[in-house]
Structure 1
Amino acid sequence: MRRREDFPWAAYGRRALILVLVLNAVQSASVAADGAYLTWRTAVALLCGAALLVRRLPWLVAPVSTTVATGAWGWPMLPLLLVALFDLAARRRPGWAVCCGVAVMVANSSSPEPESLWRPQQYGSTLFLLLAVVGGLWVGSRHRLVELLNSQVERLRVERELREEAARAAERSRVAAEMHDVLAHRLSLIALHSGVLATKSDALPEPVAERLALLRTTSTEALSDLRDVLGALHTPDAAGTAPVLRDVRELVAQARQSQHVELDIAGRAEEAPAAHRLAVYRLVQEGLTNARKHAAGSPVHIRLDYRPPDTTVEVTNRPGTSAALAEPSGFGLVGLRERVSALGGELSAGPHGSGGWRLAARIAHHAPDRQGSSRT
């Protein structure tokens, strides 16, 4: 809703007009006093101008003061009275404006000719008073119409946002249902059959048994992650359905069965907020996945620092001896960048060294004092 403060040019124009009218009244007072400026009429003109300029005064002060001054003085104070009547009409007080106009015409009817509002034209001043009231009524109606239209536009905007939010919630529910139908059944089958095969590990070679155990653990965790994601999709406010926090060391231990991984950790994970720890887990997971897909056989170095004032993550790898057969999606880094940006951090990913790759992120936070670092 627009207010008078939304139109500073209108407020400045009104103030400039009042100052000009006050100066004109002061000049008229000086002419009537044979060039003297320090007269009671000058004081009256300044007081009436101040009453019109100071917005914190009671609304009746300006019209009453200008009415009394115009009734006693006449034409020199009439412009200031017109401004006061215009304001009254614009503020939906036309009755008060008419009363002030009638009062000033009655009070000035017996004034001498130089100050009389009835001369040189008998109804000229009355016409000015009517124009001021009608103009104030029109401007006030226009302002109220603009405010009404602005409120309607704001209401429509809020309704549109609510409809969009409802549409997004419906889409999240639909996506959750589709993900459940497509992924949950297959992951359950993988976990089930890998578990059955793991029970017969005595008859299998040790590397195969280890891979089966890793497959069963990974599929079980994937089901847990899927439940977390489905819960977040079903719930408009996903804050209450955040995925369970996992230790990065477990992720690295699993990756070491097929990759050479070095992990440096500074500080304790508890020093960082839960949202940061979850982001660290996803960043390391994405870095290991990309190294395994695009630089198979390459050693990976991971550096984590949970200590304030920033949580930092850096995953680097050298060029691999071969590349895994995997179709790149191209959306992993996009999602990570969005996650880190939502936490107020920065993410960078690109070539590093001689054909290597570096994934790094820094997320600011407030935490207790720094602790010592450990190397795993």
Structure 2
Amino acid sequence: MPRQGKWATRLAWWDGKFRSLLLDLLIASLAVAMPDDPAVWQQWVLIPGNALLFGGLLLRRRFPWIAVLASSAVMVLAGSGDQSMAVVVALYTMAKQRGPVASTWGAVAVVTAAQLTRLALPNLASLWTNGTATALLGLAAMLTGFVGMPTLLGLWLYQRRDLLRSLRERAVQAERERDLLADRAVGAERRRIAREMHDVVAHRVSVISLQAGALTMTATDERTEQVAEVIRVSSSAALSELREMLRALRDDAEHPGGDHAAPTLAGVAELVADSVAAGAEIALEMPDELPETSTAVGRAAYRVVQEALTNAGKHAPGSPVLVSVDTGPDGLAVEVVNARGGGTTVVEGSGYGLIGMRERVTLAGGTLQVGRTAEDGYRVRAEFPVLEPAAAS
């Protein structure tokens, strides 16, 4: 446990603050006093009484009743107003700690009786014979100052603390409800997207896969059969990945990881081979022994190559493409360069390909560079920092 935590535990009776303990020590020390000329019986009674008063004021935040009873008793026995401030502090503490409850009103009655005993009884005869309005007003003022004011101040602070606590609880509750509503809204939106993807994208990819399979069976030449088979395999893989995305969007707890493995750096070779089988002119430069990478880096590198090859096929169909994977002491570099094409295909794009690539590379801790080459071609280069062991992912 940290040192500050230990002190907070030890000072729990003083609100965890050392200055509160010092303040109570000061108040308890000032309250312990003897009359100017005490009688013998007062000395014998007030010595243990003052000890009890000292302890009661020191622990007033935890046991306010002890402080109230001890200060009232010592004030009456001493027969002077030296302990009046101790009574004020004890009554204020009781009202602040307990609030408007029976124990607080009981303490008010005890202190009022003690003040009346100290002020009124010694002068009862004179008040009876020569009582004046001035004397009664003075007595009422003394009771108001030493009983009413500390009680009202303590009750006000109790209500203020209770109000602040209620406001904090309401703020926490409001924040919790806001987060819950936001989670519900996100969940509803995710389910809506999943439904749209299932109803539109999955259906169309399924149609492509079925048509490609039929074309494979009815192809009149070997080249058409090969291209149709590549389309069928690619569309089937797209359907598998789409199912995993739908599961993730729906938060399917029964299939947290899915049956489809996440793409890795090793999958780049197969990705290039599929594109070559579909008729693309792609050269691949990759070391024989691939380095171990984290899941995020491997996935980002694969997606960069995938998106770059897709863009090259759309914007520069038929142009040669070079895919290179380089490793070094500083990390991993993946580069895709295509020459200038003779035209574009009719396939429309969403315009978010480069944005998605940059987000993936950034989340993996890398940097992305895209732009024209000196030969008017196009280059996509992603660089990732020092490689992390695959086990770390």
TM-score category of the 2 structures, normalised to the smaller one: 0.5 to 0.7
Distance 1:184 1:62, change over 3 A: same
| More moved, 295-304 vs 191-200 | 295-304
CA drift of 1:188 comes to 1.9
Are 1:214 and 2:230 matched, yes or no?
yes
Please tell me whether the aligned partners of residues 53 and 67 of structure 2 are also in contact (alpha carbons under 8 angstroms). no
Are 1:95 and 2:102 matched, yes or no?
yes
Structure-2 separation of matches of 1:184 and 1:199: 23
SS at structure 2 position matched to 1:122: helix
- Residue 182 of structure 1 corresponds to 200
TM-score normalized with structure 2 length: 0.64
Describe the superposition over 1:89-140 as per-residue Cα deviations: whole angstroms up to 9, x where unpaired.
2333543333334434544666699xx9x99942334213222223322332
2:334 to 308, 315, 327: 315
- Residue 59 of structure 2 corresponds to 51
Are 1:285 and 2:298 matched, yes or no?
no
Are 1:139 and 2:164 matched, yes or no?
no
CA drift of 1:299 comes to 1.2
Structure-2 separation of matches of 1:62 and 1:364: 68
Are 1:199 and 2:222 matched, yes or no?
no
The aligned runs of 1:244-283 (5 Å cut-off) are 244-245=260-261, 246=263, 248=267, 249-257=269-277, 258=280, 259-264=282-287, 266-268=290-292, 272=294, 278-283=299-304
Describe the superposition over 1:217-269 as per-residue Cα deviations: whole angstroms up to 9, x where unpaired.
11111111222222222337697254611551422322444222223453457
Structure-2 separation of matches of 1:189 and 1:366: 41
- Residue 350 of structure 2 corresponds to 329
Structure-1 separation of matches of 2:255 and 2:74: 66
Are 1:122 and 2:139 matched, yes or no?
yes
The aligned runs of 1:361-372 (5 Å cut-off) are 361=384
Amino acid in structure 2 at the alignment position of 1:251: L
CA drift of 1:334 comes to 3.9
Amino acid in structure 2 at the alignment position of 1:266: L
User: Structure 1: which 5+ residue stretches go unaligned?
Assistant: 6-10, 34-39, 370-376
Structure-2 separation of matches of 1:123 and 1:364: 84
Amino acid in structure 2 at the alignment position of 1:229: M
Distance 1:119 1:252, change over 3 A: farther
Distance 1:224 1:47, change over 3 A: same
- Residue 164 of structure 1 corresponds to 182
| More moved, 19-28 vs 58-67 | 19-28
Structure-2 separation of matches of 1:252 and 1:261: 7
| More moved, 217-226 vs 69-78 | 69-78
CA drift of 1:333 comes to 4.5
Structure-2 separation of matches of 1:60 and 1:364: 68
Please tell me whether the aligned partners of residues 348 and 361 of structure 1 are also in contact (alpha carbons under 8 angstroms). yes
Amino acid in structure 1 at the alignment position of 2:271: L
Amino acid in structure 2 at the alignment position of 1:215: I
Matched residues, number:
337
User: Structure 2: which 5+ residue stretches go unaligned?
Assistant: 1-7, 9-14, 38-46, 124-134
Greater Rg, structure 1 or structure 2? 2
Describe the superposition over 1:173-214 as per-residue Cα deviations: whole angstroms up to 9, x where unpaired.
22222222322232222212222222345x4253x4432222
Structure-2 separation of matches of 1:313 and 1:165: 37
Structure-1 separation of matches of 2:16 and 2:226: 81
SS at structure 1 position matched to 2:310: helix
The aligned runs of 1:10-49 (5 Å cut-off) are 19=23, 22=26, 26=30
TM-score normalized with structure 1 length: 0.67
Amino acid in structure 1 at the alignment position of 2:163: L
Please tell me whether the aligned partners of residues 349 and 357 of structure 1 are also in contact (alpha carbons under 8 angstroms). yes
Please tell me whether the aligned partners of residues 169 and 236 of structure 1 are also in contact (alpha carbons under 8 angstroms). no
SS at structure 1 position matched to 2:380: strand
Structure-2 separation of matches of 1:282 and 1:243: 19
CA drift of 1:365 comes to 6.3
Distance 1:365 1:29, change over 3 A: farther
SS at structure 1 position matched to 2:335: strand
2:368 to 341, 349, 359: 349
Structure-1 separation of matches of 2:369 and 2:253: 33
Describe the superposition over 1:8-49 as per-residue Cα deviations: whole angstroms up to 9, x where unpaired.
xxx89995898499479749969969xxxxxx8998887566
SS at structure 2 position matched to 1:244: coil
Distance 1:138 1:330, change over 3 A: same
Please tell me whether the aligned partners of residues 260 and 299 of structure 1 are also in contact (alpha carbons under 8 angstroms). yes
Structure-2 separation of matches of 1:239 and 1:82: 68
Please tell me whether the aligned partners of residues 191 and 216 of structure 1 are also in contact (alpha carbons under 8 angstroms). yes
SS at structure 1 position matched to 2:368: strand
Structure-1 separation of matches of 2:389 and 2:50: 64
Please tell me whether the aligned partners of residues 326 and 333 of structure 2 are also in contact (alpha carbons under 8 angstroms). yes
Distance 1:104 1:366, change over 3 A: farther
CA-atom RMSD, angstroms?
A: 4.8
Please tell me whether the aligned partners of residues 332 and 385 of structure 2 are also in contact (alpha carbons under 8 angstroms). yes
Amino acid in structure 2 at the alignment position of 1:130: G
SS at structure 1 position matched to 2:106: helix
SS at structure 2 position matched to 1:346: coil
- Residue 37 of structure 1 corresponds to none
